[in-house]
Chains A and B, each alone.
Chain A
Amino acid sequence: NAGVTQTPKFQVLKTGQSMTLQCAQDMNHEYMSWYRQDPGMGLRLIHYSVGAGITDQGEVPNGYNVSRSTTEDFPLRLLSAAPSQTSVYFCASSYRLTRAGISSGANVLTFGAGSRLTVL
């Protein structure tokens, strides 16, 4: 299994350009999410989805759009790139971890390898 696949791995944009970061998973996970990771800030949630056709905002959603037309794919769109969006972006998906035969509802995330974006 490929797990969670992110493309591209590296991208340089100019301020105002738009682009889409791709994320695909082959584990039939219902839950998918996008994080950004900045030095000293940890992982911050941008958007997430609990299933096809359902998306919701995380902690830092401004400047980003998402859609979930299939279970497998969850692209992240930057509408008009800004230098503040320079970051490493991680896509993650999950199943529900079952404990003692009872679903705990806790989501164990599987992460992609990341996409490093620089906005000049």
Chain B
Amino acid sequence: EDQVTQSPEALRLQEGESSSLNCSYTVSGLRGLFWYRQDPGKGPEFLFTLYSAGEEKEKERLKATLTKKESFLHITAPKPEDSATYLCAVQGSGNTPLVFGKGTRLSVIA
């Protein structure tokens, strides 16, 4: 059974204080690992897809990396507008539906 565990549950940062969010996963034949951002009262928005260990993707202050067991979402010099819940999901082989983690709630204080 595919599983995703995200840590920490919540993270509070000062503006400009860089940090990382963790996503540990177990999956049978990884087809893709996804990162989404969710703002309060809205649906999740797609950020990145990673396919294989060693792959990295960047978007503004966010950088996602992938190993065979976990993914990190690195946030460099965050701003208050980066405050959101960040969700990680995996899709295994056999075209199985995505399995989501419970998310990390990030607060960036000015």
Contacts and interface: CB of A to CB of B under 8 A. Distances in A.
Interface residues of A, number: 27
A114 B38 CA distance: 11
B103 interface: yes
A58 B30 CA distance: 19
Contacts of A43: 44, 87, 89, 100
Interface string A94-120: 000101000011111111111000000
B41 A114 contact: yes
A44 B89 CA distance: 11
B79 interface: no
Interface of A: 4, 33, 35, 40-45, 48, 50, 58, 90, 92, 97, 99, 104-114
Contacts of B22: none
7 contacts: A48-B97, A105-B91, A105-B95, A106-B49, A109-B34, A110-B46, A112-B43
B15 to A, nearest CB: 27
Interface in B61-90: 87, 89
B27 to A, nearest CB: 12
B51 A106 contact: yes
B71 to A, nearest CB: 14
